[in-house]
Amino acid sequence: MTTTQAVEGNAAHENTGAARTVFLLAHTGRPAAIRSAERVVQGLLRSGIGVRVLAEEAADLPLPPSVERVESEQCAAEGCELLVVLGGDGTLLRGADFARTSGVPMLGVNLGRVGFLAEAERDDLDKVVDRVVTRAYEVEERMTIDVLVRNNGNVVHTDWALNEASVEKAARERMLEVVTEVDGRPVSRFGGDGVVCATPTGSTAYAFSAGGPVVWPEVEALLMVPISAHALFAKPLITSPRSVLAVEVQPKTPHGVLWCDGRRTVELPAGARVEVRRGAVPVRLARLHHASFTDRLVAKFALPVAGWRGAPH
């Protein structure tokens, strides 16, 4: 689901004289990110906006003493007006952890390759700073998923994801045997590399690579996409956002692994059951552009559209 709210510099977002602070997260392993971070910090400080960074990243960034350092905890962004992330998809997903916990909107600047979650590119840094200073951006909510793992009937792990939760084989030479389920009813049993359960936001990530459909972000749905399945019926499924998806690792199969957004992992013993449902807490994304998702899709994947003439007027 995508819910958009304008945040021009007036009305509800005017701060009653309180200090404004932006939380900055960067991929400090990239020289381009370090240079970009320095540029953003200088621009914000010149405009009287405070900057907060993680203490673990501060040593790698050329920062003035006025920049606030905090420990890397999920609540690190609380009290900030915005979370600005400089990096690729992995850094943006890392930022989503802080954004979800704090409810702070996340504005991504892509320093990687595709960067579907990003709103700006590295050449737009000055524009990004200007929009942050003037609060000239909109905020939309993106649906998440909550993930629960059961073993012998007991809940042994809980997690969440913005893009996807994937159940995968742990050993390359062995298939993972699973049964998929939707709303308490079995759908198909097959062996393969695993299953991706994704949100519309995640439809352009792992689910896309596994052969799933591209789903527009404003569509409320859940996706279930088999990975290299050896079965006659192992097609991608799109279900209601109210559905509960489940993947059961069969008892006589090698153990698997659960990955959430490709960042957090837990081992799945034979017989484990993974349940996926709509997340209780969305992630808020700051948007600078009104471009349609269609245009974003074409631009990010460099799709050929030459010859298009448009609808007749």
- Residue ranges for the known binding site for NAD(+) are 89-90, 94, 163-164, 174, 193, 204-209
- The DSSP annotation for 240-308 comes to -TT--EEEEE-TTS--EEEEETTTEEEEE-TT-EEEEEE-SS-EEEEE-----HHHHHHHHTT---TT-
Cβ neighbours around 118 below 10 Å, total? 25
Q: Is 89 a catalytic residue?
A: yes
CA 127 – CA 132 distance, rounded (Å): 9
* Active-site residue, from 60, 89, 97, 146: 89
Three-state DSSP class for residue 233:
coil
- Alpha helix ranges (H) inside the chain: 31-46, 55-58, 89-102, 125-134, 206-209, 293-300
Binding residues: 89-90, 94, 163-164, 174, 193, 204-209
CA 219 – CA 150 distance, rounded (Å): 29
Catalytic residue list: 89
